[in-house]
């Protein structure tokens, strides 16, 4: 008899600390192991690493990793931070690849290349969301994989 796995979600609140992205990636690996989704670990970890590092490098406040599975075999990795500005290249569908001689700017391009879907939400209300933005990327369910 087939069983249906209920949807689940986790949120890990992180301080603005250089160790936070690594701690969050470790938590993500544990979450995926607990939910028996090891095949998504490499892509999910890459997506989380890029989004977390972006928040750490370009904001001053805390941030949070959000992980959820609403469909079997598909995962949404999201990072919330206090800055409402969506990074250039993340919101446009056809962002140019950065020149090879530049040190930065490839992280969000990697997210766009490896995710099945991605998006951004600007959170304007200061209630429970504390404002800011949420950048998300989905993996699993076929096609893009890194």
What is the DSSP secondary structure assignment for residue 39, as one 8-state letter? G
Helices 41-58 and 20-34 pack at an angle, to 10 degrees, of: 150
Sign of the dihedral through C-alpha 118, 122, 125, 126: positive
pLDDT of the chain, 146 residues: tens digit per residue: 445 567 899 999 999 999 999 999 999 999 999 999 999 999 999 999 999 999 999 999 999 999 999 788 899 999 999 999 888 777 665 555 555 555 555 677 788 888 999 999 998 766 555 689 999 999 997 766 66
Who's near 126: CB < 8 A, 6+ residues apart? none
Report d(CA 34, CA 54) in Å as an integer. Answer: 27
């Amino acid at each position: 008899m087939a069983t249906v796995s209920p949807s689940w979600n986790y949120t890990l609140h992180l301080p603005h600390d250089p160790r936070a992205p690594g701690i969050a990636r470790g938590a993500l690996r544990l979450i995926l192991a607990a939910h028996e989704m090891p095949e998504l670990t490499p892509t999910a970890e890459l997506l989380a690493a890029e989004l977390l590092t972006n928040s750490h490098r370009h904001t001053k406040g805390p941030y949070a990793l959000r992980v959820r599975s609403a469909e079997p075999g598909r995962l949404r990795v999201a990072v919330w931070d206090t800055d409402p500005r969506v990074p250039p290249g993340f919101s446009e569908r056809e962002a140019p690849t950065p020149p090879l001689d530049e040190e930065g700017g490839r992280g969000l391009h990697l997210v766009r290349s490896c995710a099945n879907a991605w998006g951004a939400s600007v959170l304007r209300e200061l209630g429970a969301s504390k404002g800011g933005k949420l950048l998300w990327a989905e993996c699993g369910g076929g096609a893009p994989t890194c």
